[in-house]
Amino acid sequence: MIKDKKELSYYLKCDSIAMHREYKRPRFIHDNIWKYQILLRKCEYYNNIRRNLIDDMVFRYLKLKFTVLGQHLGFSIPLNVFGPGLCIEHYGSIVVNINARIGANCRIHEGTTIGANGLFSDKAPVIGDNVYNYGASLQAYALMKYLQDKGNDVEIIDYKPTHLSGRYSFWFVPDDTPFKRICDKSRFAHLAYAVAKFHGRFQTIKRKKKFNQFKTKLLSITSISYSSNASLKENVPQADLYITGSDQVWNSVMQNGKDPAFYLDFVPGDKRKISYAASFGTDYIQKGYESLTKNMLSRFQNISVREDSGLRILDSLGITGTRVLDPVFLLSKDEWKNLIKKTYSEKYILVYDFIYDSEIRATVKMIAKLNGWKIYSINDYKNIKYADKNISNAGPIEFLEWINSSQMVISNSFHATAFSIILQKEFFVFNIKTLNNNSRMSDLLASLNLSKRHIFSMNDVLLEEKIDYSKVKEFLNPFIDYSRCFLNQICN
């Protein structure tokens, strides 16, 4: 939620990058969607900070322009629903329920309805950030396996507040879409709708299957699936110790940082709960959530975080914590390589770019040309035009395999960077410009004396300097030992 001008500027910057708008003012013609998104953010700002009559008048004027333009484009989007990095692809029917809450980096297309369950229901979707995520899956596996190898019985809670598997069905038509009634009456209309949605819906279906296979084969999951903190409280999974983490579980800019479940709120008071390598994602807590965060974290017996910025946040709340490494570092290089089944002989530079960054494109093309390498890209959703090969069907294991066989990895991903280090690959990493969550990258690399690998443009690339992993180990190994010791002492 935008509560001051700093956050307004941040949201607009994130949206402009997501929309590939490198100019501040929208163009006079053919730029109505960008005009609409700017009005959306300004309306959110004035709605949230209204302090006097002038603020109220400005809000009403902007809201009128916003509503009129929305009617022209076919959009019905309430305020304070979308996180930063929103990208509306095309004009056309888009309807969003006022109670919906949608995380960062959402890309939404025409013909989309995000609604409630029932005409008068006040319950609407809460859609998180970056579902089917390589890092989330692999760090869950790493923490589980390390604890199992120490003789513990471990289960990962099957928590799905963002479960939207229905959209992968060929015949799926959302109940709230205006096409639902037509499709129910006409088989031809149903077929036409399914065919029209086929490309966008199924371009990553193989990727989803690989994630599900990884989960089924390698993760020990609770037999019950939970969809909310309330459902967890109703039927608490039984354990002696509860652990939350890692990644951005407490990022208050995103929905997960506002979800009590990630603070283990459902755990009975007589049970132990700790965090391992939890992350706030940013270097601050969003205004209005400080007391919630302090209240939730004060109930933990032990807290460990992943970044120095996390320790500073804890200190500001009067809470003691320690810094440990991400769970993926708990396992050795050989343990990760045991999961790798395929290797590739061709020479390529691997790209993993969330936001289609122009600086990454320029850097990758330069390095590939200088070395005569192919460009391969692992994609979450959209192909990269400059890549020689686009990989849209990689699950967590394939993610490791493509990194392992590469000559170099260029990304804006924390876990692509982490596995480049573990598998001892050459790499460079960029910030994610749409999110203020880059402290996790800078803190890790600084602690390993690899800050030169954290770059901002192609001009920062020093190809003649190779990474000396024997020296990296001198910094990394003691940190790994400390992280393992933290877990061992708590579990014993």
Whether omega for the bond prior to residue 246 falls within 30 degrees of 0, making it cis, is yes
Same domain (yes/no): 138, 261: yes
Checking if the pLDDT of 67 tops 60, the result is yes
The rounded distance, in Å, linking the Cα atoms of 288 and 283 is 15
Same domain (yes/no): 324, 382: no
For tokens 């089944």, name the residue: 341
Q: What is the pLDDT of residue 200?
A: 57
Contact 383, 390 (CB under 8 A): yes
Same domain (yes/no): 84, 118: yes
Single residue among 265, 297, 331 that ends a domain in this structure: 331
Total tally of structural domains belonging to the chain: 4
DSSP E strands, 314-438 = 322-323, 348-352, 374-378, 389-391, 408-411, 426-429
The rounded distance, in Å, linking the Cα atoms of 227 and 214 is 21
What average pLDDT does the segment 396-408 reach? 98
Checking if the pLDDT of 119 tops 50, the result is no
Q: What is the pLDDT of residue 198?
A: 63
Report the CATH number that the domain containing residue 377 is assigned in CATH.
3.40.50.2000
Same domain (yes/no): 305, 319: yes
At 208-228, the pLDDT tens digits run: 889 889 988 999 998 888 888
Cross-strand pairs, 467 = none
Look at residue 383 and tell me if it is in a domain: yes
Q: What is the pLDDT of residue 123?
A: 42
The rounded distance, in Å, linking the Cα atoms of 109 and 29 is 21
Checking if the pLDDT of 5 tops 80, the result is yes
Same domain (yes/no): 338, 285: no
Checking if the pLDDT of 318 tops 80, the result is yes
Q: Which residues contact 142 (CB under 8 A, 6 or more apart)?
A: 327, 328, 329, 330, 331
Same domain (yes/no): 146, 183: no
The rounded distance, in Å, linking the Cα atoms of 432 and 97 is 29
Classify strands 374-378 and 348-352 as parallel, antiparallel or unpaired. Answer: parallel
Q: For the chain, percent helix, then strand, then coil, each to nearest 5?
A: 45, 15, 40
What average pLDDT does the segment 114-131 reach? 45
Look at residue 492 and tell me if it is in a domain: no
Domain span at residue 191?
A: 170-205
